[in-house]
Structure 1
Amino acid sequence: MDVRRAREIAASPIMADVTYNGERIYIEQVDEQNEMAVVYPLGNPNHKQRVSVSSLHEH
């Protein structure tokens, strides 16, 4: 995924189908300068991770 699309998904009120390592995630925040995102699994909002935007996949 590219940074622009990740930012759009994070800002949208509509939930997108995005995965990280095969697990459905929510994109909480996008750091465009470093091309990183703060994400968490849909069922576990306390398990936040900072990951590369390029490792996210939209379905």
Structure 2
Amino acid sequence: MDIKRAQDIYASKETVSVHLDGEPVWIEHVDAQNGMATVQVGSRPTNTHTVGVERLEEQEH
């Protein structure tokens, strides 16, 4: 995924399915300057990771 798409998903009111290493995640923050995103893995709000946006994959419906 590129930084623009990550920002679009983060700003969207719609639910977009995004995965990191095959696991569903929620985008919590996008750092466009560094090409990074903070994501919540699964349903636990405390389980967050900051990763390069290129590692995120948008899943087709």
Does residue 52 (structure 1) correspond to residue 52 (structure 2)? The answer is yes
Which structure 2 segments of 5+ residues have no match?
A: none
The answer for the alignment partner of 2:3 in structure 1 is 3
The separation in 1 between residues aligned to 2:50 and 2:57, in whole angstroms, is 15
Match of 1:42 in 2: 42
TM-score after normalising by structure 1? 0.94
Unaligned runs of 5+ in 1: none
TM-score of the aligned structures, taking structure 2 as reference length: 0.91
Identity of matched residues, %: 41
Q: What residue is the counterpart of 2:20 in the other structure?
A: 20
4+ long deviations beyond 6 Å: none
RMSD: 0.8
